[in-house]
Chains A and B, each alone.
Chain A
Amino acid sequence: MPLDLPKPTEVAVPLFIVFLLLEIFYGWKTGRINFEGKDALTSMFMGLISGVAGLVGVFVLGGISLLVWDARLFDLGTDPWVFVVAFIVVDFAYYWIHRYGHRMRWMWAAHVVHHSSQHYNLTTALRQTWTGFLTPGFLFYLPLFFLGLHPAIVAFCYGINLVYQFWIHTEAINKCPRWFEYIFNTPSHHRVHHSNNPRYLDANYSGVFMAWDRMFGSFVPETDEEKCNYGLVTDLGTFNPLRVAFHEWVGIFKDIATAKTWRARVLFLIAPPGWTPDGSRMTSDMIRAAWIARTDAKGEASKRAAE
Chain B
Amino acid sequence: MDLLQLVISALSILAVAGIAAWLYPNKLKLDSENVAKDYRRFNPEATIGSPLVTTKGNGAIIPVKAPTGQLGIVTQLGDRLVCRTLLSTDRYETNHNGDMLIIRLADFTQPAIKLNFGPETMTKVLSLFAIHAPNTKYSASADTSFATDKDVTDAS
Are A239 and B78 interface neighbours, CB within 8 A?
Answer: yes
Are B21 and A237 interface neighbours, CB within 8 A?
Answer: no
Q: Which residue of chain B lies nearest to A251 when distances are taken between CB atoms in the complex?
A: B108
Q: Contact partner of B109 among A51, A229, A243, CB < 8 A?
A: A243
Are B82 and A235 interface neighbours, CB within 8 A?
Answer: yes
Are B78 and A20 interface neighbours, CB within 8 A?
Answer: no
Q: Give the size of the chain B interface in residues (CB under 8 angstroms).
A: 35
Q: Contact partner of A36 among B13, B18, B78, B82, CB < 8 A?
A: B78
Q: Which residue of chain B lies nearest to A44 when distances are taken between CB atoms in the complex?
A: B13
A48 vs B41: C-alpha distance in the bound complex, in angstroms?
33
B67 CB to nearest A CB, Å:
13
B103 CB to nearest A CB, Å:
11
B4 close to chain A: CB less than 8 A: no
Are B110 and A238 interface neighbours, CB within 8 A?
Answer: yes
Are B77 and A290 interface neighbours, CB within 8 A?
Answer: no
A79 vs B99: C-alpha distance in the bound complex, in angstroms?
71
Q: Contact partner of A45 among B13, B19, B21, CB < 8 A?
A: B13
A138 close to chain B: CB less than 8 A: no
Q: Which residue of chain B lies nearest to A48 when distances are taken between CB atoms in the complex?
A: B9
A106 CB to nearest B CB, Å:
17
Are B10 and A237 interface neighbours, CB within 8 A?
Answer: no
- Chain B residues with CB under 8 Å of A21's CB are 16, 19
Are B108 and A237 interface neighbours, CB within 8 A?
Answer: no
Are B108 and A34 interface neighbours, CB within 8 A?
Answer: no
- Chain A residues with CB under 8 Å of B110's CB are 236-238
Q: Which residue of chain A lies nearest to B1 when distances are taken between CB atoms in the complex?
A: A51
Are A36 and B9 interface neighbours, CB within 8 A?
Answer: no
Q: Which residue of chain A lies nearest to B85 when distances are taken between CB atoms in the complex?
A: A234
A52 vs B21: C-alpha distance in the bound complex, in angstroms?
26
Contact with B along A228-263 (1 / 0, CB 8 A): 010101111111100100110011000000000000
B59 CB to nearest A CB, Å:
10
A39 vs B21: C-alpha distance in the bound complex, in angstroms?
9
Q: Give the size of the chain A interface in residues (CB under 8 angstroms).
A: 44
Are B109 and A234 interface neighbours, CB within 8 A?
Answer: yes
Are A236 and B109 interface neighbours, CB within 8 A?
Answer: yes
Q: Which residue of chain A lies nearest to B24 when distances are taken between CB atoms in the complex?
A: A35
A9 CB to nearest B CB, Å:
10
A100 CB to nearest B CB, Å:
22
- Chain A residues with CB under 8 Å of B12's CB are 17
A71 close to chain B: CB less than 8 A: no
Chain B residues 101-116 with CB under 8 Å of chain A are: 108-111, 113
A163 CB to nearest B CB, Å:
15
A240 vs B77: C-alpha distance in the bound complex, in angstroms?
11
A45 vs B80: C-alpha distance in the bound complex, in angstroms?
20
A280 CB to nearest B CB, Å:
9
- Chain B residues with CB under 8 Å of A37's CB are 17-18, 20-22, 24, 26, 78
Interface contacts beyond A118-B77, A235-B80, A236-B82: sample of 4 additional A-B pairs, CB < 8 Å, sorted by A: A36-B79, A44-B16, A44-B17, A48-B10
What are 14 pairs between A and B in contact, CB < 8 Å?
A21-B19, A28-B23, A36-B78, A37-B20, A40-B20, A41-B13, A44-B17, A52-B1, A234-B42, A234-B84, A237-B84, A237-B111, A243-B108, A247-B108
Instruction: State the A residues within 8 Å of B (CB).
Output: 10, 13, 17, 20-21, 24-25, 27-28, 34-41, 44-45, 48, 51-52, 55, 118-119, 123, 229, 231, 233-240, 243, 246-247, 250-251, 290-291, 294
Instruction: State the B residues within 8 Å of A (CB).
Output: 1, 5-6, 9-10, 12-14, 16-24, 26, 41-42, 44-45, 75, 77-80, 82-84, 108-111, 113
The 3 closest A-B pairs by CB, nearest first: A37-B21, A41-B17, A237-B110
